[in-house]
Chain A
Amino acid sequence: MSSAADAEPAVPAEDYLHAERGPWSWLTTHDHKRIGVMFLASLLLMFLLGGGYALALRMELLTPGETVMGRLAYNRAFTLHGVIMVWLFLIPSIPSSFGNFLLPLMVGARDVAFPRLNLASFYLYVLGAVMTLWAILQGGVDTGWTFYTPFSTATGTDVLPVLLGVFVVGFSTIFTGLNFIATVHTMRAPGMGWMRLPLFVWAIYGTAIIQVLATPVLGMVLVLVALERVAGVGFFDPARGGDPLLYQHLFWFYSHPAVYIMILPGMGVISEMVPAFSRKNPFSYRVLVWSTAGIAFVGFLTWGHHMFVSGQSTFGSGAFSILSMLVAIFTALKIFTWLSTMYRGSIWVNAPFTYVLGFIFLLFFGGMSGVAVAVTSTDIHWHDTYFVVAHFHFIMVGASLMAFLGALHYWFPKMFGRRYPESLGVGAAVLIIFGFIATFLPQFLLGNMGMPRRYADYPEHFQPLHVASTAGASLLGFGFVIVAVYLGWSLRHGAVAGRDPWGSRGYEWLSDSPPPEFNFHEPPTFPDRPHDYAEREDRPEVGHAL
């Protein structure tokens, strides 16, 4: 990091953080970078809240019977944990924060296509979050984040505010997606063809398409549940001629693609970082692009694999099983391609790259366990047990969160112009990865034993594995605290980063770090193919902590 100090500019440029001052200038800004930072702050707050619930849940499960809360409290806690983590953290996490910040920079635009809509999207998110949190103060909801009917229409807890909150957040998601699609289509710098888009842009673009196509279905089904609760319209109630499974079909038609809304951006982040830290061109740019498109498309055709024991037709289950195999293949392709990119590269294992390694590991086992539950016969046993809990935490927390943390470290210098202590970063990353494995590996075994999910109380023979899982969770929580502390410290006291501290060829590093208000001092040109490192001397600013 010695050379970093040399890179400090003599006259500080007017970066976006200082272009205007005062909280009001932030709250009324149209600058995609500031909106991205505001999203980032709110998301981290939600993560903190969801994480608090997670620790409370793990405490309760330490012993069978009642440990720290009653059964009703437990049902409410896991519902809010799920709702907060899925809808208020994971789905918006990477697109709304890093996507907002980086997409225009990466395509060489001054801003997104509709800056005002972008700000509106942020406020809708805040509104939805506040409505959902208000529901907590009202006593909470006990349906699980999936709101299955007819339980969700019959339960005595107050489901409506949460339904409405999620509905509003859905609009935020749709607006953000529309904005990104329009930006990518209309605002690319001259000469940047589709096959020259950075891989992160492709990932965000694919995500945006899912967001725009799938989220309205969610909105619709939430309205149906609300109507059923308020007006007694019998969409799902068999006593009124409704169909209790209809809800599950509609819900998973959205929510299966939604799990790819959570993972695709993470894959985009990794596709940026692997070339950057291997100093290699991607092994196959087109495979990474087409697998993104493939996931976005086939992801819509697999929802029935959540319903193998719901009584759906035997043939239907077989069809959904095979379609699920097709979607898995794209993930496998990406893993092989990242790995091959490292071949004959020059690999720098720092904090972001540690998260890359964690990501690949967890994505592999999370993905393989996904294929395993997509096998119809084994899913009879695993469905709705802790095996599924472990599967989706491996993928969502493991992979999406790893990618989020990797992105946070990788682009921290870009966003705030400062660096964080690298060795501390690597240590915390290792702690988080191991804490993570210690938390969720026992849950695979719990699922094998037959422990159903959403249990406040459980037969005694499940206890040892629960204790192991809770121990892992404390390790994990500790890791996050360390990250929060040193990143917070680095915001003010970190070494000044310079324009491109990683020696990355990502387009976003062509502008200053932090970027000026309108991203570039002069119209940018992008001479190279994206992620092209071959046979060229490196930029001099890089300082390695080797």
Chain B
Amino acid sequence: MNELLRRMLFLPEQGSTLASRVDHMHYFIVLTTLLVGTGIGLTGLVFLVRYRRRGDHTVTPRIEAPNWLEALYISIPLSLFLLWGALGYRDYVWARTPPEGALDVYVSAKQWMWKFSYPEGIGGVGVLYVPAGRPVRLLITSRDVIHSFFVPAFRLKMDALPGRYTEAWFEAVRPGRYQVLCAELCGLDHSLMRAEVVVLAPGEFEEWRARQQALPPVAAGESSEVLLREDLATPLVEQGRAVAVREGCFKCHTVDGTPHIGPTWRGLYLREEPLTGGGHIRADVAYLTESMMDPEAKVVAGFQPVMPSFQGRLNAAEVASLVEFIQSLRPERPVPPAAKEPLYEQRRGR
């Protein structure tokens, strides 16, 4: 029954303990609504047919509602609504009260990325690793405007506010990958502000955590440079990559599509970028070069003018190799993660 209704209502899979609670309330609401709606619709239909106008001069009786009927009209829907409200509130209180011993994760939102970190210092951008079957408490904040952390499969949503912390928790029921969306309008790339929750079996999670702790701490994005596909690399591209590493470009730019302190380089070449000062720019060779030499001339909307100038630090050959490198980072549409299969096994070797 649960599965049938879930599919009929187009609900995503129930990935958390909250999801089934919310869904059951949802079914109750939908079913009672349809029941009452059918009643009203049928009554209306009968009236339309039975009392349709038969002539220009039909007379009608004067009928006034008796008091008891008015009382009935008030009390039946009101008690139904209050019942809905009370049952829903019970679940809401539950959803707002994290259980003891939950795993804490700090979530910080920023135009347009999600950053996750654990109390022991490890963390990353865009992917939240959690164990299955254990409550996870999220402490959410934002670095700029209001965002909203939304995992449809968990029926979980909580706003991320600048200057404040909000709290949410969930317990994932089985390993898998679940999409995170931003649900509060936050500017240009609001609709691209996506991340992923990767739920691991408890053992796997501990392994992952141990491995992370063993790694030297890295700024987000720095590690993403290894994602560059070998087959695209020509010598010039290779040189560009080396220059980028040497000059520390990856402190702020990523090559895997996640925006960081600066725009990502993936798919940047020839992209139309909106500028802070209004207008657009096409990221061609001229613009890329200008951005390296005089970064504050044209700042892409949503980013702070923090990039240093490389005037005098890069020679012409190095600039050319950097441009070649950026060109090689072809855009690819991010593939939506398959929600069903626990793909986490593929990652084990890393």
Contact = CB atoms under 8 A, between A and B. Distances in A.
A65 B22 contact: no
B217 to A, nearest CB: 27
A56 B157 CA distance: 29
A381 B157 CA distance: 6
Given A372-B29, A538-B56, A340 B333 contact: no
B158 A348 contact: no
B100 interface: no
B146 A151 contact: yes
B72 to A, nearest CB: 9
A4 to B, nearest CB: 13
Interface in B79-131: 81-82, 84-85, 87-93, 95-97
A535 B61 contact: yes
B191 interface: yes
Interface in B205-247: none
Contacts, number: 287
Contacts of B95: 377, 380
B58 A279 contact: yes
Interface in B40-68: 40-41, 43-44, 47-48, 51-65
Nearest to A319: B89
Interface in A425-484: 445-446, 448-450, 452-461, 465
Which residue among B10, B57, B59, B278 has the maximum number of chain A CB atoms within 10 Å of its CB?
Answer: B10
A86 to B, nearest CB: 16
Given A310-B159, A381-B157, A452 B60 contact: no
A155 B187 contact: yes
A193 interface: no
Q: Give the dominant DSSP class at B's interface.
A: mixed
A137 interface: no
Nearest to A152: B145
Nearest to B275: A156
A360 interface: yes
Contact of B22 (A284, A311, A365, A381): A381
Contacts of A376: 85, 88-89, 91-92
A534 B60 CA distance: 6
A383 B277 contact: no
A90 to B, nearest CB: 20
A321 B162 contact: no
Nearest to A325: B81
Contact of B60 (A239, A346, A368): A346
A452 B181 contact: yes
Contacts of A343: 47, 51, 63
A1 to B, nearest CB: 12
Interface stretch (B148-156, B256-264, B287-295, B342-350): B148-156
Interface in A356-374: 357, 360-361, 364-365, 368, 371-372, 374
A153 to B, nearest CB: 9
Contacts of A465: 10
A328 interface: yes
A270 B234 CA distance: 72
A314 B96 CA distance: 7
A102 B76 CA distance: 36
A452 B150 CA distance: 9
B37 A365 contact: yes
Interface stretch (A141-149, A258-266, A491-499, A508-516): A141-149
Nearest to B150: A452
Contact of B53 (A71, A157, A239, A348): A348
Interface string B18-54: 1001100110011001001100110110011001111
B4 interface: no
A538 B190 CA distance: 61
A546 B54 CA distance: 8
B40 A335 contact: yes
Contacts of A310: 159, 161, 166
Interface residues of A, number: 102
Given A343-B63, A360-B44, A378-B88, A336 B73 contact: yes
B307 interface: no
A94 B25 CA distance: 37
A244 B162 contact: yes
A238 B97 CA distance: 26
A297 to B, nearest CB: 16
B51 A344 contact: yes
B274 interface: yes
Given A156-B277, A239-B163, A343-B51, A449 B188 contact: no
A345 interface: yes
B60 A342 contact: no
Contacts of A325: 78, 81-82, 84-85
B73 A534 contact: no
B162 A329 contact: no
A142 B146 contact: no
Contacts of A381: 22, 26, 152, 155, 157
Contact of B182 (A346, A452, A503, A534): A452
B32 to A, nearest CB: 9
A424 interface: no
Contacts of B30: 372
Interface in A131-174: 139, 142-144, 148, 150-151, 154-157
B313 interface: no
A419 to B, nearest CB: 16
A375 B29 contact: yes
Given A347-B48, A445-B10, A537-B57, A321 B181 contact: no
Nearest to B82: A325
Contacts of A344: 51, 60-61, 63
A234 B124 CA distance: 32
Interface in B254-311: 272, 274, 276-278, 301
A281 B59 CA distance: 12
A156 B278 contact: yes
A380 B63 contact: no
B9 A281 contact: no
B12 interface: yes
A116 interface: no
B60 A279 contact: yes
B166 A311 contact: yes
Contacts of A340: 65, 69
B327 interface: no
A322 B85 contact: yes
Interface string A299-335: 0000000001111001001100110111011001101
14 contacts: A154-B144, A287-B70, A325-B81, A329-B81, A333-B74, A346-B52, A368-B37, A375-B84, A377-B87, A381-B22, A381-B157, A383-B157, A455-B191, A533-B62
Given A314-B93, A325-B85, A450-B181, 7 more contacts: A284-B70, A310-B161, A329-B77, A346-B51, A449-B12, A461-B336, A534-B62
Interface of B: 9-12, 18, 21-22, 25-26, 29-30, 33, 36-37, 40-41, 43-44, 47-48, 51-65, 69-70, 73-74, 77-78, 81-82, 84-85, 87-93, 95-97, 144-146, 148, 150, 152-153, 155-159, 161-164, 166-167, 179, 181-192, 194, 272, 274, 276-278, 301, 333, 336
Interface of A: 65, 70-72, 75, 139, 142-144, 148, 150-151, 154-157, 238-239, 244-245, 278-281, 283-284, 287, 308-311, 314, 317-318, 321-322, 324-326, 328-329, 332-333, 335-337, 339-340, 342-349, 357, 360-361, 364-365, 368, 371-372, 374-378, 380-381, 383-385, 445-446, 448-450, 452-461, 465, 503, 532-538, 542-544, 546
8 closest A-B pairs by CB: A238-B163, A450-B152, A534-B62, A375-B88, A376-B92, A377-B91, A455-B191, A284-B65
